[in-house]
Amino acid sequence: TSKLNYLNMSFNLLHNTLPYFPIVGADKVDLSFNQIQGSIPPSLSNASEVYLSNNKFTNFRAFLCEAESGITKILDLSDNHLSGSLPDCWGNFQFLSVVDLGNNKLSGEIPSSISLTSTYIQTLKLRHNNFSGKLPSSLKNCTQLKVVDFGKNSLKGTIPSWIGESLTSLVFLSLKSNKFYGSIPLNLCHLSQIQILDLSLNDLSGGIPWCIKNFTSMVENNGYPMPIIPLQYDPNFLLAFNNIDGYDNIASIMWKGEEYDYDKILGLLRILDLSSNKLTGEIPIGVTHLV
């Protein structure tokens, strides 16, 4: 029997709730940029890539907790009206590589079960919600993470040292505009592949680590920018991105008091932002190695 490989109804004015979708092994479902509301049906978990961003969905608990197969690799639910706590049912999705829940109204603590996606997860974006509490230590098991954006939440505590110890593949890390306090852990200097590090708008204190010079990927190579996260995951990045395509990695960067979304020129950016904290002491000479 034949099956629908690709369903694309994006950029329309579709509204009301989603009907039951009897999807079986579809490669991609794209309903982004519409006005669809209500709950996300669990049958969509049968699709490898699910793009539902920029709608008015309010609930995805059934999608996560009643998943029919959980084969989804890319899940983009950003820019919706999702609210309440994050469902603790991530064990149903063992193949996720990209999770984007940014720009919603989610709250509460980040559940430890989100680390059950640890085998393949490379991009995790929870930015611009109202998550609170500390970062779950179980995230240290997600050793393939390259992009982590938890900016603009109400997360608190000290920045965990396990980020530098276990997440050494990170290229992009944003914890900006939260409630983190204490010193910047020296173990962050193990992030030798980091190219964008944003810890601004927190309550960090103490000195800037001397080992900041270890951020060698922030330095251009012979005048040519080193490759960063591609705008889209595509087959040219088989080893780095597990042959996933169709998802745009967009970075929100503060520049001269204004926030901008970068995509097309993301590969040119090298950013270290420690502004609006309570850091003291001297500027370490290692900073000059990054300029």
What does the alpha-carbon distance between residue 215 and residue 196 come to, in Å, rounded to a whole number?
10
Instruction: Of 115, 66, 124, give the one whose Cα is nearest residue 94.
Output: 115
Q: Which domains does the chain have, with CATH numbers?
A: 6-290 (3.80.10.10)
Exposed, middle or buried by CB within 10 Å (0-12, 13-18, 19+), for 222?
Answer: exposed
Instruction: Of 245, 148, 244, 125, give the one whose Cα is nearest residue 194.
Output: 148
DSSP-assigned letter for residue 282: P
What does the alpha-carbon distance between residue 179 and residue 225 come to, in Å, rounded to a whole number?
33
Sign of CA dihedral 150, 215, 260, 147: negative
As given in the structure block, the two tokens for residue 77 are 């639910």
Residue 124, phi then psi, degrees to nearest 5: -135, 110
What does the alpha-carbon distance between residue 78 and residue 105 come to, in Å, rounded to a whole number?
10
pLDDT per residue, tens digit, the chain (291 aa), is 457 789 999 999 999 999 877 777 678 999 999 999 999 999 899 899 999 999 999 999 999 999 877 889 999 999 999 999 999 999 889 899 999 999 999 999 999 999 987 789 999 999 999 999 999 999 999 999 999 999 999 999 999 999 999 999 999 999 999 999 999 999 999 999 999 999 999 999 999 998 888 887 777 553 444 444 433 333 233 233 333 456 677 766 666 566 766 665 455 568 899 999 999 999 988 787 776
User: Which residues neighbour 158 within 8 Å (Cβ) at sequence distance 6 or greater?
Assistant: 180, 181, 182, 183, 185
User: Which residues neighbour 19 within 8 Å (Cβ) at sequence distance 6 or greater?
Assistant: 41
As given in the structure block, the two tokens for residue 5 are 């490989």
Express each pLDDT in 166-223 by its tens digit: 999 999 999 999 999 999 999 999 999 999 999 999 999 999 998 888 887 777 553 4
Residue 42, phi then psi, degrees to nearest 5: -65, -20
